[in-house]
Structures are given as C-alpha cells and as structure tokens.
C-alpha cells in the first residue's frame, strides 16, 4: 500500500476543517453550548466558510497563511469550549449535512436569476433618460 501524497493529506485536512466549521455552525445554534463558545463558533464558522479572507488567497503564500493558522486555532478553541458530547452530536449533524446531495440544476438556476437581475439593472441604467 502506498503512502498518501502531500496533496492528498492537504485535501483531507481541508475536508476535516470544513466539516468542523460546519459542526461549529451547528454548535453556535445549540442552546446547551456556553455563550462564549457560541459567539466564537459563529465567528470561526463564518470566517472558515466565507469566500472572503483576511488576506486574499491570490497573494502567494501569505494568502494561505490565514487559512493555515486562524481557522485551525479557532476550531481548536471552539472544540475546547464545547462539552465533548455536544461537539460529537454537532459533528454527526455536520457529517449528515455534508453527505446530502447537492443540486447543480439548483445552482445553475440561482446563477441564472442573478445574471438576469444584473442584466435588468444594467439595462435600466443604460436606458434611463438621465444617462
């Protein structure tokens, strides 16, 4: 059996962080979780799942440092503040949610609606009498 490549290890780590961020999101909405942990879980989940980073990813090396430092430390802290039984339940919910099928047709429909709305906005601006 061959060892995994670095790219495979990184991919698995990213998948684990996404799963834990999703679990943090579920923990933030659980009333049994302490208030400080809920606030931190919201912040970490929002940052980890957001397409906007503190340092943009297109900046070589520096763009990935925030993902390699901020997210893991935040997730580690959230895990330490939440009781293990609740964290395990949140992880199970995250696993179940991540295994749901996604809809490419639904994604295309939403993108089509956005494209149509942007086109209508553009058309309204271009044809306005003040333009």
pLDDT for the residue numbered 14 = 79
Using the predicted structure, report yes or no on whether residue 127 has a pLDDT greater than 60: yes
Pick the residue with more confidence: 59 or 121? 121
pLDDT for the residue numbered 102 = 59
pLDDT for the residue numbered 2 = 64
45-69 average pLDDT score: 76
pLDDT for the residue numbered 9 = 80
Question: Model-level pTM?
Answer: 0.65
Distances from the Cα of 94 to the Cαs of 46, 90, 119, in angstroms? 15, 6, 37
Contact criterion met (CB below 8 Å) for 111 and 57: no
Mean of the per-residue pLDDT values of the chain = 84
Using the predicted structure, report yes or no on whether residue 39 has a pLDDT greater than 90: yes
pLDDT for the residue numbered 66 = 73
- Residue 35 tokens read as 């208030």
- Residue 95 tokens read as 């696993």
- Residue 91 tokens read as 């992880």
Using the predicted structure, report yes or no on whether residue 10 has a pLDDT greater than 60: yes
Q: What is the pLDDT of residues 69-125, one digit of tens each?
A: 888 999 999 999 999 999 999 999 998 887 765 567 667 887 888 899 999 999 999
Contact criterion met (CB below 8 Å) for 12 and 18: no
3-state secondary structure the chain: CCCCCHHHHHHHHHHHHHHHHHHHHHHHCCCCCCHHHHHHHHHHHHHHHCCCCCCCCCCCCHHHHHHHHHHHHHHHHHHHHCCHHHHHHHHHHHHHHHCCCCCHHHHHHHHHHHHHHHHHHHHHHHCCCCC
Percent of the chain topping pLDDT 70? 89
């Amino acid at each position: 059996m061959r060892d995994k490549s670095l790219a495979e290890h990184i991919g698995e780590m990213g998948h684990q962080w996404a799963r834990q961020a999703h679990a943090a999101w579920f923990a933030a909405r659980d009333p049994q979780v302490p208030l400080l942990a809920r606030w931190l879980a919201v912040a970490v989940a929002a940052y980890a799942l957001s397409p906007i980073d503190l340092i943009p990813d297109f900046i070589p090396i520096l763009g990935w440092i925030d993902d390699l430092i901020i997210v893991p430390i935040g997730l580690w802290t959230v895990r330490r503040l939440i009781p293990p039984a609740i964290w395990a339940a949140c992880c199970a919910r995250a696993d179940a949610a991540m295994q749901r099928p996604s809809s490419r047709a639904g994604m295309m429909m939403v993108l089509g609606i956005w494209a149509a709305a942007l086109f209508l906005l553009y058309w309204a601006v271009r044809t306005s009498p003040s333009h």
